[in-house]
Amino acid sequence: MQSFLDMALALLVAERRLVEPAALQECILEQRRRSGEPLGQLLVRRRLVAPRDLLALTRAARAVVFVCATCRGAMAYGEVDPRAPPRCPRCGGRVAARSASGPTPATPASRSPSSTETLPVEDSPRPRADTRRGPSSAPSGSALRGGASLIGRRFGPYEVLRELGRGGMGVVYEARQARLERRVALKVLLGGDLSSAHHVARFQREAELAARLKHPNIARIHDVGVVDGLHYYAMDLIEGRPLADLLRESAIEVHRAVEIARDAARALGHAHRLGVVHRDVKPGNILVDEGGRAVVTDFGLARELDADAAARLTRSGAQVGTPRYMSPEQAGGRDDEVGPASDVFGLGVVLYELLTRRPPFSGSDLGELTRRISEDDPPPPSRCARGIPPPLDAVVLEALAKRPEDRYPSGAEFADDLERFLRGEPVLARARSPLERSWRWLRSRALLAGGSLAGGLLVAGLLLVPAGLGRSVPGESAPK
């Protein structure tokens, strides 16, 4: 829901031509659809506005005036709650924002040439640290929304050295904890004290869940807290690179690809044993350190298996995760079916890409991609790349089964079968005959079709499968 502050920021961004009108309108529409993310945070997340510029815009918002379309009453910014919905406090009518010096409310579509002749954002003075706290103090949360100015400063017990990256919710820095002479990765919530209660709760939940997990293939959490209004947590600094970068650069040898997937599966298996589902397994959330160890990171979308509906931060029916790595149940918004096997599917997609350098599912748009994830079987990896033996085909396709109950039940079992392959032992996954693949396909379609239609599909499918194709495929896979 839009707030007074959102309306003021939209006006200022449009007046100063900081963002193309179409891009600004898209952000406003996305904000309405998602109903919760502040406009400023959305602009920063999309890299349309720098965090430092958001700070200056927020200060400039104090000069914005709001006019009621019903009673024509005018309100200064200081007379309203910036986070409240933009309604007139006198009559409840809709309000519009305008610059204190402008005669009429401005919008991206009805902007007069003179309304853009304002000082650029860069002319606003930069925030200063509160010198009463000493030279090692960090600026307040209101002065560091987005955290860009943390570099080179002291932040609680940490000295912030450089930015490592940023995502939809936070910025990650490399920092040094002077007292322990330890370097850490410091994640700070974007938006500072402008963050919505929903995003603060999600950030804190991410830290709490990750702090439970103590495993060599998961980045450990060392510290969680708030410094001057900025929520943060400190975790292991992994000296390495995201798997996504390695995947883009060059082909990864088959044995090495399986080792990476095994490490990630072990991490997920540990999380699953403790009742935590990651829900966003992808190459960007797997780091490979200098010793070749894979480490799973970013539990921002993680969920407890035993959490009741009231404690969940995701609305029912919503797609959660990165589309290309979603399981069929995630792509279909079937939240009650999401569990450890959903993470297995995501990691199966990652392994498929490592082996073939192509995704198992693709589409021209999100709708087509979702349909293919839910309905289409990918070709075995060996059809897309050389040097992949049948047992590894079987393992990957087991992870990518449509129904959760047809996959490995958790990351632990997936890791065990990958380890068997690495040791040259028979794997538990086995190649599926054409008859079995047809049966699985029909069974999955029966969930979507009516009873009589499902029965018709089943009979037709059995009649179309040639005799003799149901025999087991010999190979190195062990029978289940």
**Average pLDDT per consecutive 10 residues, the chain (480 residues; last block may be shorter):** 86 83 81 74 82 80 86 84 85 82 36 31 33 41 49 92 79 89 89 68 86 92 88 92 90 95 98 94 93 91 66 45 88 89 98 96 85 93 95 97 96 98 94 60 53 47 44 44
Give Cβ neighbours of residue 310 (< 8 Å, ≥ 6 apart): none
> Is 81 among the catalytic positions?
no
DSSP state at residue 200 = H
- Name the pairing type of β-strands 221-227 and 182-189: unpaired
Q: Which domains does the chain have, with CATH numbers?
A: 4-99 (no CATH), 147-236 (3.30.200.20), 240-423 (1.10.510.10)
- 289-292, long-range: CB < 8 A, 24+ apart: 289/238, 289/239, 289/240, 290/239, 290/240, 292/256, 292/259
**Distance of CA 233 to CAs 113, 221, 424, Å?**
46, 7, 41
**Distance of CA 217 to CAs 17, 228, 258, 385, Å?**
46, 32, 15, 28
Residues in the chain: 480
Burial class (CB in 10 A: 0-12, 13-18, 19+), 379: middle
What is residue 266's predicted lDDT score, i.e. its pLDDT?
98
pTM of the full predicted structure? Answer: 0.63
Alpha-carbon distance of 237 to 192, in angstroms, equals 23
Residue 57 dihedral angles phi and psi, to the nearest 5°: -65, -40
Kindly name the residue from 280, 343, 377, 417 that is annotated as catalytic: 280
At 39, is the secondary structure helix, strand, or coil? helix
Are the CB atoms for 284 and 244 separated by under 8 Å? yes
What is residue 142's predicted lDDT score, i.e. its pLDDT?
43
Euclidean distance between the first and the last CA atom of the chain, given in angstroms as a whole number: 52
Alpha-carbon distance of 382 to 397, in angstroms, equals 11
R_g over Cα of the chain:
26
